[in-house]
Amino acid sequence: MTTVPEEVQNILTKRAFAHVATIGPQGEPHSSPVWIDWDGEFLRFSQTRTRQKIRNLDRDNRLAISAVDPDNPYHYFEVRGVVDRVEDDADLGFINAMSHKYLDRDYPWHQPSDERVVVYVRPLRTTKM
């Protein structure tokens, strides 16, 4: 059973930017915006292997994700969870799908040296307003 309530899942179908918070190498918080997806079990987002966020999650898989409804700034959620797995996105299928959701076109900033991955987050707790 999911810990993500239906009204929160509603935000995930929109072009809502999410902020992912991880724990840095010295225990400091690290937060940055991402495009987010929900597959009914996992929150997912794309990253490159060289980002600090991935290094933080390799060391400590706990994170928090929050987003505000773009249609109502008083409707938001926070999910606390853990990384279940990280999968390669070598064919750019996931990042292009996210780019179509947010930009209506393929991902425009890809560099040949980028090693794209998909981060699968298992929600453990959700708060909402």
71 phi and psi angles, rounded to 5 deg: -95, -10
In angstroms, what CA-CA distances link 27 with 16, 77, 80?
28, 24, 17
The CATH number of whichever domain residue 99 belongs to comes to: 2.30.110.10
Q: pLDDT 10s per residue in the chain (129 long)?
A: 467 888 888 898 899 999 999 999 999 999 999 999 999 999 999 999 999 999 999 999 999 999 999 999 999 999 999 999 999 999 999 999 999 999 999 999 988 889 999 999 999 999 988
Residue range of the domain that includes 18 = 6-128
How many separate domains does the chain show?
1
Q: State the pLDDT at residue 3.
A: 78
Classify the C-alpha dihedral 75-61-114-37 as positive or negative: negative
In a domain? residue 1: no
- What are the backbone dihedrals phi and psi of residue 114, each rounded to the nearest 5 degrees, phi first? -65, 135
Report yes or no on whether pTM surpasses 0.85: yes
